[in-house]
Structure 1
Amino acid sequence: MIEQPSPQALVDGLVRLLTVVPAGNDLFTGIPQPGGKGRVFGGQIVAQALQAAQADAPDGFTAHSLHAYFLRGGTEGLATEYATACDFEGRSFTNRRVVARQDGTAILNLTASFQRPESGLEHQDAATPDVPPPEELESDMAERHKVVQRAGDRMTEAQRALVLRPRPIEMRSVGPLHWMNREPAPPCAQSWFRTVAPLPDDPALHRAVIAYASDYTLLGTAALPHGLSWMRGELVGASLDHAIWFHSPKGKQPRADEWLLYVTDSPWSGGGRGFNRGQIFNREGELVASVAQEGMMRQRLRKSEASGS
């Protein structure tokens, strides 16, 4: 039996993954996911690009939003270079533009905006959904084990390894996992998430981990009304863009090692694309981040359909 890494080891690995290394001339290097295969997880590239922007921003400024476009799929096993540039430097706001490249080819453009913290008018229109607390829900990993057991020989060894791979972020979903559901359902979902062990007290790192986790479940929300799944090979998809707005209710910075509720919905899909929105709340019901993403979403045709027979 393969020995599983401890929760703290998983989180330490996530911290290393999201810690970019200065490489001179406004460049930073992001390491690849150890043992990763295939295409790089989009949340990883967004989070590393945000970390490069945060490392390059002046002291006293905090990231409050980012907007990113995925240009090409990244490849696991390759380091990623992040080139930063400043297009605006003000007294209250500043920005950083980041281009992520692998082997000299651009795979993502990101712009992050920073603000010097200040007090101001506050309100919150979004209401936290009435959902069970995380203590009353089963871990998604337990559900994943059930899926593998039910699938038996229908699932390849590579698929089983992907589904059961230990993760540094624990998810506890309200309702069935979207990629398991064959029945059309309303385009909305709720999941609690947090790292499986404590993180260092670094607000920039917590924002990066939230950015990383914000790519989980989001595009899958657009698939719910259609009863189709990427895991079953019924869909072909990829993120096209990703935007996050970080909020700091009452001046508090959110922590990614405490339970956060991710509420997603998809108001529209069509033309081979699905549009998704997300709201992230803390345990007190305060909105700590808002997310939006559009992704390519195409139904995979069976060979007979593709050939016209």
Structure 2
Amino acid sequence: MSKALDDLIALLDLESIEVNIFRGQSPREDRQRVFGGQVAGQALVAAGRTVSADRAVHSLHAYFIRPGDPSIPLLYEVERIRDGKSFSTRRVLAIQHGKPIFNLSASFQVDEEGLEHQLEAPEVPDPLSLPDFEETMAPWADSMGDWYYRPRPFEIRYVLPPTMAKLKQPREPKQMIWLRADGELPDQPLLHACLFAYASDMTLLDSTLLPHQLSWMDRRIFAASLDHAMWFHRNARADDWFLYDMVSPTTQHSRGLAQGKMYDQSGRLLLSVAQEGLIRVRD
């Protein structure tokens, strides 16, 4: 297991400080605000630790209220909304400086058999046939600075070109990447779900910029996640390769909507994701 993945798992191992109250830390990195995927993953850990082990998360819905301060711990308060025969519902509030910065509602379900179908997965190259992150990003290494060399908990292989350089012409609002956790993980379903939640915030809003010939390297761009939703369809492991297929149906009023689907290598649809982000182009 890579050190970056080991550090991420440590971040997700929240400290229990009272019944329904947990404390989480942030990595010691030069960030202006806490990464949204980290807060979502930690909040899901907090919710999951109050639910019996026979119930797996099937959906979450969250709002990013204020930027998280990476220099101090995050406090997670869990409200046990309901425990029924098949479903459990939890609400989690993340607090810093005495104010809420994030809230999450999550639903958990016992395993049940039922109807099953899905749309076919897109046909894409095998992940190991594609260049790794360092090779893909090498043309922009100097402008990326420390971010290029920073260890990452997930391996990333781009199916479509990354949203980095200034585009010569508009592109379709689509992005595709292969991902997998950089190391073998234990058989803990909640941990895998939380790692998927962490990864779901990676590159998701990229597709909102492509039709406008913009990239994250453009310093005029200010972006922040506003809300986030996930549906967990099938059991999956975050340390196996999974395809993240993303598209932006619309941008308007300084907001962009992005939707994503995650598939395993056999083409099974694992998760669906939706996020709206604030996207401002400064003069």
TM-score of Structure 1 vs Structure 2, range by shorter chain: over 0.9
What amino acid is aligned across from residue 47 of structure 1 in structure 2? Answer: G
2:165 pairs with 148, 155, 180, which one? 180
What amino acid is aligned across from residue 3 of structure 2 in structure 1? Answer: A
Residue ranges of structure 2 left out of the alignment (5+ in a row): none
- What is the CA–CA distance in structure 2 between the aligned matches of 1:231 and 1:246, rounded to whole Å? 32
2:256 pairs with 252, 266, 274, which one? 274
State yes or no: 1:205 paired with 2:199. Answer: no
1:201-258 superposed Cα distances (whole Å, 9 cap, x missing partner): 111100100100000111111111011122221311100000000011xxxx200001
Shift of 1:36: 4.2
Which residue of structure 1 aligns with residue 279 of structure 2?
A: 297
Which residue of structure 2 aligns with residue 83 of structure 1?
A: 77
- What is the CA–CA distance in structure 1 between the aligned matches of 2:184 and 2:217, rounded to whole Å? 30
Shift of 1:59: 3.1
1:145 pairs with 138, 144, 150, which one? 138
What amino acid is aligned across from residue 167 of structure 1 in structure 2? Answer: R
What amino acid is aligned across from residue 247 of structure 2 in structure 1? Answer: D
1:254 pairs with 215, 236, 256, which one? 236
Aligned length: 282
Shift of 1:25: 2.9
- What is the CA–CA distance in structure 1 between the aligned matches of 2:115 and 2:141, rounded to whole Å? 50
State yes or no: 1:39 paired with 2:43. Answer: no
Which residue of structure 1 aligns with residue 213 of structure 2?
A: 227
- What is the CA–CA distance in structure 1 between the aligned matches of 2:160 and 2:191, rounded to whole Å? 30
- What is the CA–CA distance in structure 2 between the aligned matches of 1:11 and 1:135, rounded to whole Å? 20
Q: What RMSD over aligned residues (CA atoms) do the two structures have, in Å?
A: 1.3
- What is the CA–CA distance in structure 1 between the aligned matches of 2:29 and 2:212, rounded to whole Å? 33
What amino acid is aligned across from residue 231 of structure 1 in structure 2? Answer: M
Paired residue secondary structure (2:206): helix
Paired residue secondary structure (1:279): strand
1:124-146 superposed Cα distances (whole Å, 9 cap, x missing partner): 1x221111110110112222233
- What is the CA–CA distance in structure 2 between the aligned matches of 1:40 and 1:185, rounded to whole Å? 30
Which residue of structure 2 aligns with residue 64 of structure 1?
A: 58
State yes or no: 1:103 paired with 2:106. Answer: no
Paired residue secondary structure (1:291): strand
- What is the CA–CA distance in structure 2 between the aligned matches of 1:75 and 1:181, rounded to whole Å? 30
More strand per residue = 2
1:77-98 superposed Cα distances (whole Å, 9 cap, x missing partner): 2111100001122101110100
What amino acid is aligned across from residue 175 of structure 1 in structure 2? Answer: L
Matches within 5 A, 1:21-40: 21-40=15-34
What amino acid is aligned across from residue 176 of structure 1 in structure 2? Answer: P
What amino acid is aligned across from residue 198 of structure 1 in structure 2? Answer: E
Q: Contact 2:166 / 2:218 at 8 angstroms: preserved in 1?
A: no
- What is the CA–CA distance in structure 1 between the aligned matches of 2:156 and 2:32, rounded to whole Å? 23
Residue ranges of structure 1 left out of the alignment (5+ in a row): 1-6, 150-154, 302-309
In the superposition, relative to structure 1, how do residues 181 and 290 fare at CA in structure 2: closer, same or farther (>3 Å)?
farther
Which residue of structure 2 aligns with residue 306 of structure 1?
A: none
More helix per residue = 1
- What is the CA–CA distance in structure 1 between the aligned matches of 2:53 and 2:61, rounded to whole Å? 21
- What is the CA–CA distance in structure 2 between the aligned matches of 1:179 and 1:18, rounded to whole Å? 29
Identity of aligned residues (%): 41
Shift of 1:181: 4.6
1:160-217 superposed Cα distances (whole Å, 9 cap, x missing partner): 0123211111111112101325131000111000011111211110010010000011
State yes or no: 1:195 paired with 2:181. Answer: yes
- What is the CA–CA distance in structure 2 between the aligned matches of 1:77 and 1:57, rounded to whole Å? 30
